[in-house]
Each structure stands twice: as C-alpha cells, then as structure tokens.
Amino acid sequence: MNLGLHDFDFDLPDRLIAQYPAHPRDHAKLLVYDRVTKTIQDYFFYELDNLLNPDTTLVLNNSRVEKCRLLFEEGKMEVFVLDTIEPYCVQALVRPGKKFKVGKIVSLAPGLEAQVLSISEDGLRTLRLSHKFDDAIFDSFKYTPLPPYIVQNEALSEKYQTIYAKYEGSKAAPTAGMHFTSELMQRIAKKGVSIEELTLHVGMGTFAPVKTERIQEHIMHEEDYFLTEQVASRLAKSQHITAVGTTSVRVLESIVAMNSVNGSHALRKFNMGSGSTGIFITPGYRYQAVDALITNFHLPKSTLLMLVAAFVGLEEMHRIYAHAIASEYRFYSFGDAMLLR
C-alpha cells in the first residue's frame, strides 16, 4: 500500500485540544466503532464494562511517567532526558539547540553544567553532566513531561499517570489508560473480564514525529518492554484480547507468534521476558494479537494514527475522526477515548 504522510493529515480546531483531564477520569466521552457493521456510537468511558466483549482479556501498560524534563532560566532552556547511559551521561532533547553545540560546556544553573559530547542525526544530544542525574541538585529543576500542546502545570503531575502505574521509565504517559478509575476496574473484573499487565516504557518510538513523506522511510526508535511468563501463558489461552493503548498494541504484536494446530486452527503464543521493539504498524499490516483497541485521539501524521488506520482502515479512520470533531470530542493526551472492536 503506497501511502504518503499527507494521507494521515486532518484539521483540528485548537479548542478541541484538551488542557485538563475529565473529572472524574471515567467521565471522558467514549466513541465506540464496530469494525463489522462500521457503526459509530457515542458513550461515556464509565460505561466501558458493558461494552467490552465478555470473553476478552484487557491488557494494560503499567509503566509510570518519570520527571525527566529539566527546565532552566524560567523555562527558556530545556533538557529532556530520554536515557541515562551512565550516572553522569545522558541522551537528551534540548532547547534551544543552538546553545548545545558539540564540545561546548553549557551552564544550566549555578553549579550545574553539561558538556555536549555528540549530536545524532535526529538532534539527540549526548551530554556529560557535572553531577549524577539522580543527584538531589536536579530535583528543583525536574518536571513532568507534559506534551508541548499542554501548558506546563506541575499540579497535573499525578493526573498524567494511570491509576495502575508501577514501574517508572516512561517519557510520556500511556494515555488511553488514564480514563480508568478503581471503581470501573472493579466493575470490569466483576463482569468476568480478565485483566493483565505488561510494561512498555514510552519514548521517542511513540512520540517522535514522522518527517518523511514516504512513511516507509520513517525509522522507529526502540522502546523497552517487559512481560512475565505468567502473563504470556494466560494471554496464550485468551480467546479475545483488548489492548489498552497503542503501547500495549506494539508490545503484543511484537511478541506474538502463531502456531498451527493440525495444520488448520491457529493458536497465539506470546514470548515472555524483556526486550525492545521498533515495530511500525501502518495500513496493510495484519494484526495477530489484538482483537479490540482502546485508545485516545492522536495527532495528525503521527505513527499512532497510522497504527489506528491499520486497525480500522484509512477511510474509516478519517470517518471516525470526522465524527469526533463534529461531535466535539476532546483530543490528545487529556482528551476523550475510543473503543475500536
């Protein structure tokens, strides 16, 4: 399928970019799309327990967002730490880039410096810090990495986490899961729906923009994941899987293997353990692990939107988004959700 970046574009009024989450969390709107009947219906997220396939296994990403955004000079200078190579050495996105040239020692704050060791093709800087990144001297400069379309507001820090977040390491939230409340989770469990957890630490693979018109030329950044043997075994027995978020999808589709039984009926097997995935799901991809998907409304031209288009079809994706815009759904990280089944 020969698609270009322009095929994943759409116009969104600024007023529909959510600056705050719904309160309570599960009072976000929920668009439900049926892939068989191609029907679109409007609900609220708190109705999810009545909308899930009763035989499904709900798969959550339990990664927790870390405070990896360092702001200096009243926010005019930023070091967004993506990876800690060693205690004093990090990989980071920086702003303004012209200050961080190779070989330069940048004064971040009184007593704090960063030497620029190298710059990659995509602008990532390798920095040697004057203090260990986990040194308390950095604490007052660390902020939650809210996306650029949300005004930085540290009061929203805990709201930018799922209620089941456990293992710190994400640079952005797995946002589809932010709509769940404890009460809703309990109701879902009472319906007999199995709930499983895996971990994928969200990084540039999820939020890096696509800059090539030929989408096949885009290179995905690797993101680390972990799945226990027990979860992998239970998933293999699942008749139906609902992934919560594109990050859960990317793990599941990366570790699934199809086994042929008696040369006909195919069973899914999931490989346990830790690893990294750079899977890039675009229209034409054949899903093997995921039967339904809960996700938010994504940015134009993003890899996340391409993943959704691969699940429902490009034309249907545009029809779903047109309905959401006309119905004034709230978009992006703190926005509303959809169930694609």
Ordered by where they begin, the domains of the chain are: 5-65+156-340 (3.40.1780.10), 69-143 (2.40.10.240)
The reported pLDDT for the residue numbered 263 is 42
- Which pLDDT score, from 0 to 100, does residue 204 have? 87
What residues contact residue 250 under an 8 Å CB cut-off, 6+ apart?
A: 200, 205, 223, 277, 279, 281, 307
Cis peptide before 283 (omega within 30 of 0): no
CB 176 within 8 A of CB 244: yes
Determine contact, residues 1/285, Cβ cutoff 8 Å: no
Strand partners, 224: 276
User: What separation in angstroms does the CA of 253 have from each of 202, 236, 247, 265, 293?
Assistant: 16, 13, 10, 19, 12
Q: Which residues of the chain have pLDDT under 70?
A: 258-266
Nearest CA-CA partner of 48 in 61, 65, 29, 64:
29
Using CA atoms, how far apart are residues 173 and 57, in angstroms rounded to an integer? 22
pTM over 0.85: yes
Q: Do 92 and 85 contact (CB within 8 A), yes or no? A: no
Structure tokens at 48: 């999810």
